[in-house]
Structure 1
Amino acid sequence: MDSSSLPLSSSKPKHTNVAFLKTHKTASSTMQNLLFRFAERNNLTVALPVQTCGHQFCYPRPFNSQLVHPHTLPPNVIANHMRFNHAETHRLMPNDTVYVTILREPGSMFESLFIYCYPSCQTFRRVPNSSLEAFLDNPWRYYQPNEKDSMYARNTLTFDLGGDKDHPEDGLAEYSRAFVAETERVFSLVMIAEYFDESLVLLRHLLSWELEDMLYVKLNMRTSGSKRRLSPGLSAKIRNWNALDARLYDHFNDTLWQRLDALGLNNVADEVRMLRRAQERLVRGCFGGQLPRHLKGTEIANKDLRPWQPSSKVDIVGYDLPTNANISRPEGLTHDLCLKLIMPEVQYTKVLLQSQSLRYLAQHPPTLTTAAKNAALKKVPPRH
């Protein structure tokens, strides 16, 4: 098919009100970065957490609108980690908000959670020799449903979506069907991490965005040496332990491919190829004509680009921009754009809060309180 026949730009206005539920270990940091950059380019407001919550909306508490920093209201976009609460999110966001989230195959996701969260999750720390096999042989020996950080150890996707990660076996199938149906009702698109680019094609059509709005680099990845391949038996045990997540994933993976098929698989494949070509041009433009190296945190000179490291046993890789001042970039490709393209979540949230606070204060100059006015008057010398 001639690529010129693909609708890579839309006559419709871009849809700018988006709620992205950022789930754990699902390529959601990459998606969040894409949304942050879109918001900045289009002068949109991103709802960000109050500073006492850090870079998440006080996760794992259920989300409520009081956790949103007042300088980031009213928002067009929300994309930081939360435990989903549809009623509260609906109250916060505009009525035409499009809800999107992302899931990942439960086996690979749980392996990633086990390694990533081992230092902080009490359930995992009880397991001798950091053995995933030992945990899966007898999960209830280590798992306590109500203790801190237990949501990382079972049905994390279900928990993030606001569901009951420990629903009893009695009635589990019925609960799962109802939960899947509710998720489908609320979310206009459930992306699948293993088919990230194909998911972006659906998202682009859903939001009437342009190809350039969908460009990204992969963020918050582990080094290949800290990953492990799962045997079929181990993967089956993970899916059994995370049965609710497995049912969610299987349903929405099927749904994704039904929607891709409706769009035309050849059309989708062509658009994915164009997305990847455009992406390579962008990345090479930022990195002096080269593709970037994955760097360990200690190898990144710019501290603003160092990803958070969960422990000394896990290396989360990031990127550093070339320091050569003479580097030439294509027209319109600024240093700031390249910096934001590779900026990790924690730092980008902080930068975005600072810029939005400055804009908010410029639009809403603070008024003096009565006490401040009286204090100021006392400093004025009396007239004679």
Structure 2
Amino acid sequence: MANATSNITRPTIKSWGFVLMVLFFIGLCGTYRKNFMKEPTVQSAQPPYTILNRTFTSEGACEAKRNFMFVKVHKAGSTTANCIFQRFGYEHNLTFVLPVIRSDVGWPNLLRQEDFIPSADGTYNVLVDHTVYNRQLLDHLMPPDTMYIAILRQPLSHLRSVFNSYHLVKKMRGLQRSDPVASFIKSPDQFHVPYVKALSHTREPYTLAKNYMAYDLGFPLGLSDSQSSIDEYIETLSREIDLVLILEHMAESLVLLRRMMCWTLKDILYNVAPKNLKKYKKTPMSTALLKQHRRWSNVDYQLYDHFNATLWQKIQREGADFPHEVRHFQNVLNQTAIFCTKAIMKVPKIELNLTAGKLTIPKTTWHEEFDIDSTLCLKLKMEWHDWSHVLKKTHKMPPNLSSGFRRAISMTNTRVLDKSLLLNIFHVD
């Protein structure tokens, strides 16, 4: 019996030992998986945000940049960005370099002292109207800590916009009406007049259809066939301009601008409807024509390619939360657009709907809670003509301002604002 009992017991002990051994290995594998094979975690919608390479005035806050110059490149979405800058300057009581003529500070020529309205103390914070970029002249005018910003657009899209806005089909005889842009690119020398000077009576440079963006950014167009000059010029711009916005990536550009300038999300809100929306024909372009246009407008393409790449290099350095902030910004823009359709009425003129209340944007890791009301909706809807009128009327001028400058201030017009809104919202006539 003893042997029988022993024979029964041994298999039972071995069985438990086997079970314990299996459990040990299962636990070991679980620990290994937990420590070394973690599943990727999903980023939260609003991860912690730290501002890199900034000067902090207090914990968690940095000092907003208030001195800046915007190179307003024609037909590159610059009017939308310009209205953001004008609103920011007005809200923070900044002093603008204001043009005597329309929206041009010397453009298409280099700026002169006669081209802008003097300020009371001779100093300026902001320049956002059209001017040919020249750093030496701008450094003489703007404060030493000025931030320099520009904007670019994909060159073919830019050319289409230029054709539409400047009515080039009427000015260039012989273009095929079915697709005038393609017709132009096939033989641009047939239609392009190679003058290296601006037309004084129209204030338009000769280069409307060739390297027009480079012209605004100060490139000497007589050197367009010199690759070494182009390379040197782009390298210089890369050092001198702090940020180049890209129209095709406007949301990303503005969020990066907000971080760089240490502004609030509210500061970069804008009217999502384009300011100068004009329809123009978009037909597929053959590979051969695309290559032809790249050769023709070679400086613009190299500018765009370089600064588009530079934009994304800067974005990569911003951290993993950047795309989340971009999506949040786009959501806020959409919410604002919906709210503002109720907050502003057109019956028959624009009026504020004071019963609309307000839209509250909750606090996030990127900004404090803020409200959007009908007054802000009006400011977002305003065009540069409206802001130019308000800024000139509120401009602090020297007491001995000449009659010519005073006429420039009085000769303004508005697109959105009427006399009632000017008086009640901005306290100007």
Query: TM above 0.5, one fold?
Result: yes
For residue 163 of structure 2, what is the aligned residue in structure 1? 114
Distance change (3 Å), C-alpha of 1:322 and 1:232 = farther
Counterparts of 1:314-353 in structure 2 under 5 Å?
Answer: 326-330=355-359, 333-353=372-392
Counterparts of 1:122-141 in structure 2 under 5 Å?
Answer: 122=171, 124=172, 127=175, 129=177, 131-141=180-190
| CA shift for structure 1 position 7 | 4.5
Counterparts of 1:268-279 in structure 2 under 5 Å?
Answer: 268-279=322-333
TM-score in terms of structure 1 length = 0.77
Give yes or no for contact 2:161–2:280 (8 Å, CA) kept in 1: no
Distance change (3 Å), C-alpha of 1:11 and 1:258 = same
Counterparts of 1:182-193 in structure 2 under 5 Å?
Answer: 182-193=236-247
For residue 241 of structure 1, what is the aligned residue in structure 2? 296
1:251 has 2:290 as partner: no
SS of match in other structure, 1:190: strand
Task: Kindly tell me the number of residue pairs found equivalent between the two proteins.
Answer: 331
Instruction: Extract unaligned runs of 5+ from structure 1.
Output: 293-298, 303-320, 368-384
CA RMSD of aligned residues (A): 2.9
1:206 has 2:260 as partner: yes
Q: Deviations over 1:153-185 (max 9, x none)?
A: 11011100111234253xx21111011011111
SS of match in other structure, 1:24: coil
Q: What code does the residue aligned with 2:207 have?
A: M
Distance change (3 Å), C-alpha of 1:127 and 1:261 = same
Counterparts of 1:348-359 in structure 2 under 5 Å?
Answer: 348-356=387-395
| CA shift for structure 1 position 278 | 2.1
Q: Partners in 1 of 2:222 and 2:399 — Cα distance?
A: 48
Q: Deviations over 1:62-113 (max 9, x none)?
A: 1234312114752211111111121111111100001010111111111111
Q: Deviations over 1:126-165 (max 9, x none)?
A: 6453722221121111111226332211101110011123
Distance change (3 Å), C-alpha of 1:117 and 1:57 = same
SS of match in other structure, 2:149: strand
For residue 22 of structure 1, what is the aligned residue in structure 2? 72
Give yes or no for contact 2:47–2:321 (8 Å, CA) kept in 1: no
Q: Partners in 2 of 1:91 and 1:125 — Cα distance?
A: 44
Worse-matched range after superposition: 41-50 or 139-148: 139-148
Distance change (3 Å), C-alpha of 1:91 and 1:120 = farther
| CA shift for structure 1 position 366 | 5.5
Identity score, percent: 27
Q: Partners in 2 of 1:263 and 1:239 — Cα distance?
A: 32
Q: 2:223 aligns with which of 161, 164, 167?
A: 167
Distance change (3 Å), C-alpha of 1:125 and 1:200 = farther
For residue 31 of structure 2, what is the aligned residue in structure 1? none
For residue 154 of structure 1, what is the aligned residue in structure 2? 210
Distance change (3 Å), C-alpha of 1:300 and 1:24 = farther
For residue 38 of structure 2, what is the aligned residue in structure 1? none
For residue 176 of structure 1, what is the aligned residue in structure 2? 230
Distance change (3 Å), C-alpha of 1:333 and 1:167 = same
Q: 1:37 aligns with which of 81, 87, 91?
A: 87
Q: Partners in 1 of 2:388 and 2:257 — Cα distance?
A: 23
1:99 has 2:128 as partner: no
Instruction: Extract unaligned runs of 5+ from structure 2.
Output: 1-42, 52-58, 361-370, 402-429
Worse-matched range after superposition: 58-67 or 40-49: 58-67
Give yes or no for contact 2:68–2:149 (8 Å, CA) kept in 1: yes
Counterparts of 1:208-223 in structure 2 under 5 Å?
Answer: 208-218=262-272, 219-223=274-278
Q: Which has the larger radius of gyration?
A: 2
| CA shift for structure 1 position 214 | 1.4
